[in-house]
Structure 1
Amino acid sequence: MKKFNITDFSIKWGFLIVMGVLFTMFSILEPAFISAGNLFNILLSVCIFGTMALGETFVLITDGMDLSIGSTAALSVMISAYLMVVLELGGLITIFIVLGIGIAVGLLIGFLIVKVKIPDLLATLGMMFLVQGLQYIPSGGLSIGRGAVIKNGREAMGHFSEGFKYLGQGRILKVIPVPVLIMLGVAIIVYIILSKTKFGRIFYAIGGNPEAARLVGVNVNKYKVIAYASSSFIASLAGILLAARVGRGDVGSQGTLLMDAIGAALIGFAVLGARKPNPFGTIVGAIFIGMLMNGLTMLSMQYFWQDFIKGSVLVAALAFTFGISKKHG
């Protein structure tokens, strides 16, 4: 019989125990926290950056980092609004165009990294600013909604279709938010790809030792491009969900999406002691951030303390995962 080891137990279950303790504490201090409505609100609050974090997971697995996902999502919001409100296109064609643009952004990033040999942080940082500026061009830096006056002085007369808005505002059985189901659907697909297919094993092999993967015949550059294209594609999907939720093109839609998404993906390293990017950990990390922010808000915690606490939790989780577990291993 294997002897119980407190360090092994802490590495594997410590984060989930902390999450459970916080959940219990919030429930005691504010009983409304545990209401069904609030729990669904937590899930709804994380579905945008949680979806983005799943795309970021692809890149992290290959030992990269995509800093452009927030700008890509915001660009998708503005393009969705421009296509439907200004050009009066339908929802379905808008979705295809926006997702196609997302893939194009990812392919360009991949090209800059594998062909031009720009380091991933610099390439994605540059694309972040490029895409961030690009989103303002169609509307002249203004938000886009029905009745908005665009650059040429013409009034926008289109609108978001009901089917499109359902993606962000709809509820199954009038209870379960559609965006939450979409996030979970993306999580399942990403899990299957990364855990049950040859592609997933190759991604992890590249992240572990790209040179060894290259020596056994893996086209490392191709898979890196696929990783960034996947990240941008999923970021565009998240942008579509955000546009559908707010029903307009808001120039300030990016907000903290980038940091929350990356934070969720990095926290995932600590879930079940994985010490590597994984979709299950990413979703748990997103829910943890949503739960923490919701609980602190309900306790009337000032916003700057919320950011400080969120950052402290991320640093602590990573320090524990890569510090204690490394020493133990």
Structure 2
Amino acid sequence: MEAKISAKNQGAPVKKGFELFHFLYKYGTIITILALIFIFSIANPTFIQGSNIINILRSISIVTIIAIGITISLSVDGFDLSVGSVASLSNAIVISMFVWFSQNLVVAILSAILASLLVGAINSFMIVKLRIPDMLMTLATMFIIQGTALTYTKGATVSQNMVMPDGSMATGLISPFFAKIGAVPWIIIIMAVAVIIVHIFLTYTKHGRYMYVIGGNKEAARLSGIPVNKYKVAAYLLSSCFAAIGGIVLASRVMTSEINSGAPYLMDSVAAAFIGFSVLGAGKANAFGTFIGAVLIGILQNGLVMMSVPYYAMDIVKGAVLAFALAITYYKQK
């Protein structure tokens, strides 16, 4: 009798509801992007023009670069909330090196990256050695680095020809070559290179696969001989490094260092990284999915602006998109 029931169950068709959910989980983000493009194009035909597409790609470049760092931390089952503050610190350092200290391009960029790597080292030490939960530690670091950046700049905007605290004028000049980094096409090229490199690293290299194993089951990875702590340290160093690159690109784009300039990119970057979990049914943090998530957010922002939606209402939409992505991701993992 039991054998007959079992055979009957094996031959039973899969429920349509589950098939639909699986399809939406796998392709829902891409379908949403296509639907938004269609809707916004009807509402405003200029939306689909090449110049606006370039504008969208430029607008998501910094978000994508920072989100790539979050993606790497998520791959080892971590979560780096300090990336926005690290981007602010990187932004402040690279501009100040030009304006305050009259340094060349190499010194300015290396100084920003080294300072950010120090933050990553502190995060990884506290998380790996002292076993502080990732989210709590990076939340604390976010405030510490935010305060450090404000203290470093004395709460002022750093720019060429600024008035120094002693009343004199800053004499340093920002490198003309540095100014090109944040312009089209270089800002888009930098984003594309970051996505491709991290995608290849996580998907096709031994080290990337180890990170995914750690993210899936840390104890099993340790028993398999994978040096879990070393990879977690590497993940947070890489996360800070990409946040630094995002801050440098932002500095090049605006040519100044505003107060907490990187903070607004945190929410969008987190949303992009989590949306990426469900792209093509990946079920894990991945660079390509993160890029698609950033594209979705960029299209939403651009389209809503064209439809004259107030800027203060956009966070509602972005928050709803993130909540939806999280709901799908964690429901699928049940």
Partners of 2:97 and 2:256 in 1: CA distance:
11
State the 1:149 CA deviation.
1.9
TM-score normalised over the length of structure 1: 0.93
Equivalent residue in structure 1 for 2:276, among 237, 243, 268: 268
Q: CA RMSD in A?
A: 1.6
Partners of 1:81 and 1:112 in 2: CA distance:
29
State the 1:255 CA deviation.
4.1
State the 1:162 CA deviation.
0.7
Equivalent residue in structure 2 for 1:85, among 85, 90, 99: 99
Amino acid of the residue matched to residue 264 of structure 1?
A
Conserved in 2, the CA contact under 8 Å of 1:81 and 1:243? yes
Match of 1:197 in 2: 205
Q: Which runs of 5+ in 2 are unaligned?
A: 1-12
Partners of 1:186 and 1:60 in 2: CA distance:
16
1:257-296 pair list within 5 angstroms: 257-296=265-304
Q: Which runs of 5+ in 1 are unaligned?
A: 172-176
Partners of 1:326 and 1:103 in 2: CA distance:
33
Query: Rg: which structure is higher?
Result: 2
Partners of 2:143 and 2:211 in 1: CA distance:
27
The farther-off stretch of 211-220 and 144-153 is 144-153
1:212-291 pair list within 5 angstroms: 212-291=220-299
Aligned residues: 319
State the 1:100 CA deviation.
1.4
The alignment status of 1:10 with 2:18, answered yes or no, reads: no
Partners of 1:140 and 1:75 in 2: CA distance:
13
The alignment status of 1:308 with 2:322, answered yes or no, reads: no
1:1-329 pair list within 5 angstroms: 5-169=19-183, 171=184, 177-323=185-331, 325-326=332-333
TM-score normalised over the length of structure 2: 0.92
Conserved in 1, the CA contact under 8 Å of 2:89 and 2:149? yes
Partners of 1:296 and 1:51 in 2: CA distance:
23
Partners of 1:279 and 1:303 in 2: CA distance:
28
The 1:293/1:217 distance shift into structure 2, 3 A limit, reads same
Identical aligned pairs, as a percentage? 43
Amino acid of the residue matched to residue 144 of structure 1?
V
Conserved in 2, the CA contact under 8 Å of 1:140 and 1:151? no
State the 1:138 CA deviation.
2.8
Secondary structure, in 3 states, of the residue corresponding to 2:143? helix
Amino acid of the residue matched to residue 302 of structure 2?
N
